[in-house]
């Protein structure tokens, strides 16, 4: 049982604001989103994202010139066109924001059986910012906060960047809350089971059977792997566990890496090259699942479901399916809630 929130005003000088404490906060954190698809909102978002040293570790003077004088002059418009194809016009926001908000609300509903838990959500890049939500949880009386980076596989470019930003917020606090972080869950049985059940359910709705399924993960420069980033290993393990759970042979569920950026070598095999080669070599029916994404976003809804579908069909493929992420489905919320409850052990 959690302690009740109290206001120990007697411990502070007269006129000092009361301080609430005794609650536990849960902060779900996703990658981020622009606020609109036009040039300037896209530019602000891309600048924050691409200036992060965890994402691009090129020496700053060189990278400042490349980013500001080359990339940010053209890429915002191109990226804006991609976002426009999948934009939630009803709420005027990206699907990632819609889904993450819903995940937070549904997890909060599930956790309501535990008194004294506050659930919020934030974005690493864009709005709402991590610092603002940590402060909100603390003001609500949360003296213990669980950070939940929504990345199944760990990478310094994703999970570590989220935690860096949270730690930066704590640096400015006189009274810091205790902090825990949810570790990578790439091999967690509840996640693997949910992925497999979700994939099987989606494939059952098709009137055709895929010749094979590609498990597509967001790419990283190969150099990051050489420097010790475990991301590649985590991706391979997720796929192996899915394959074992399905009872499939290795060629039935294959790994590819998407979203390559820049000129250096990234993790291989590349998704676009693989899809093209499969179609050219006679594969007619292809499905793709994206186990690195807990929520659908521009990389899954536009790059895969639209872009790679076109590549496949243009080179001879006939049937293509992009399997939705877990999102705020019952399976997805079950995964998030189970992981939160596990990591709150001792705080509940």
C-beta of residue 306 within 8 angstroms of C-beta of residue 316: no
Average pLDDT over residues 228-238: 98
- Provide mean pLDDT across the span 299-312: 98
Q: What are 67-103's pLDDT values in tens digits?
A: 999 999 999 999 999 999 999 999 999 999 999 999 9
Q: Is the pLDDT of residue 217 over 60?
A: yes
**Given the structure tokens 């509903």, which residue do they identify?**
109
Counting residues of the chain whose pLDDT is more than 90, the rounded percentage is 93
Q: What is the pLDDT of residue 17?
A: 56
In the Cβ-directed half-sphere of 57, how many Cα atoms lie within 13 Å?
A: 10
Q: Tell me the pLDDT of the chain averaged across its residues.
A: 94
Beta bridge partners of 100: none
Residue 99 main-chain phi, psi, to 5 deg? -70, -45
Structure confidence by residue, pLDDT tens digits, 4-30: 444 444 444 544 456 678 999 999 999
Q: What is the mean pLDDT of residues 297-319?
A: 98
Interatomic CA distance for residues 217 and 239, integer angstroms: 10
> Which residues neighbour 16 within 8 Å (Cβ) at sequence distance 6 or greater?
9
> Going by C-beta distance under 8 Å and a sequence separation of 6 or more, which residues neighbour residue 154?
160, 183, 184, 186, 230, 231, 234
Question: According to the model, what pLDDT value does residue 18 have?
Answer: 61
What are 29's two structure tokens? 């954190």
Please give the pLDDT value at position 73. Answer: 96
Q: How confident is the model at residue 262 (pLDDT cuts 50, 70, 90)?
A: confident
Spell out the SS3 assignment of 20-32. Answer: CECEEEEEEEEEE
Return the minimum-mean-pLDDT range out of 148-152, 260-264, 285-289.
260-264
Buried b (16+ CB within 10 A) or exposed e, 91-123: eebbbbbbbbbbbbebbbebbeeeebbbbbbbb
CB 117 within 8 A of CB 24: yes
Domains, the chain: 189-322 (3.40.50.1400)
- The share of the chain scoring above pLDDT 70, in percent, equals 95
Is a pLDDT exceeding 70 seen at residue 158?
A: yes
Which pTM does this prediction carry? 0.93
Residue 232 scores a pLDDT above 50: yes
Q: Which residue has the higher pLDDT, 6 or 186?
A: 186
311 torsion bin: left (phi>0), alpha (psi -120 to 50), beta (else): alpha
Six token digits for residue 222? 């190969």
Please give the pLDDT value at position 6. 44
Q: What is the mean pLDDT of residues 152-178?
A: 97
pLDDT for 168-182, tens place per residue? 999 999 999 999 999
Which of 230, 322, 214, 330 is closest to 278 using CA atoms?
Answer: 214
DSSP assigned state of 116 = T
The average pLDDT across 204-224 equals 97
Residue 143 three-state SS: strand
Mean pLDDT of 295-324: 98
């Amino acid at each position: 049982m959690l302690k009740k929130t109290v206001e120990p005003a007697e411990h502070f000088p007269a006129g000092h604001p009361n301080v609430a404490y005794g609650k536990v906060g849960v902060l779900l954190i996703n990658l981020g989103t622009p606020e609109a698809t036009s040039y300037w909102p896209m530019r602000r978002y891309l600048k924050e994202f691409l200036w992060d040293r965890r994402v691009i570790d090129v020496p700053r003077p060189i990278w400042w010139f490349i980013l500001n004088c080359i990339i940010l002059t053209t890429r915002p418009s191109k990226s804006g066109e991609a976002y426009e194809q999948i934009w939630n016009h009803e709420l005027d926001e990206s699907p990632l924001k819609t889904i993450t908000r819903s995940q937070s609300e549904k997890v909060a509903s599930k956790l309501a059986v535990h008194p004294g838990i506050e659930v919020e959500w934030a974005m690493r890049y864009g709005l709402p910012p991590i610092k603002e939500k940590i402060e909100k949880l603390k003001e609500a009386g949360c003296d213990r906060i669980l950070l939940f980076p929504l990345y199944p596989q760990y990478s310094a470019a994703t999970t570590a960047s989220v935690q860096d930003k949270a730690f930066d917020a704590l640096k400015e606090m006189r009274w810091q809350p205790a902090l825990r972080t949810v570790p990578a869950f790439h091999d967690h049985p509840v996640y693997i089971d949910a992925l497999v059940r979700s994939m099987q359910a989606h494939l059952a709705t098709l009137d055709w059977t895929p010749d094979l399924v590609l498990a597509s993960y967001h790419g990283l420069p190969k150099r990051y792997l050489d420097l010790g980033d475990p991301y590649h290993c985590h991706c391979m393990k997720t796929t192996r566990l899915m394959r074992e759970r399905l009872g499939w042979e290795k060629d039935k569920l294959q790994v590819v890496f998407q979203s390559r950026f820049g000129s250096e070598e990234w993790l291989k095999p590349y998704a676009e090259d693989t899809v093209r080669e499969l179609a050219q070599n006679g594969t007619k029916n292809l499905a793709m699942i994206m186990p690195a994404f807990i929520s659908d976003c521009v990389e899954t809804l536009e790059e895969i479901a639209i872009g790679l579908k076109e590549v496949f069909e243009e080179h001879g493929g006939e049937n293509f399916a992009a399997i939705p992420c877990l999102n705020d489905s019952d399976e997805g919320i079950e995964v998030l809630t189970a992981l939160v409850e596990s990591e709150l052990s001792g705080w509940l």
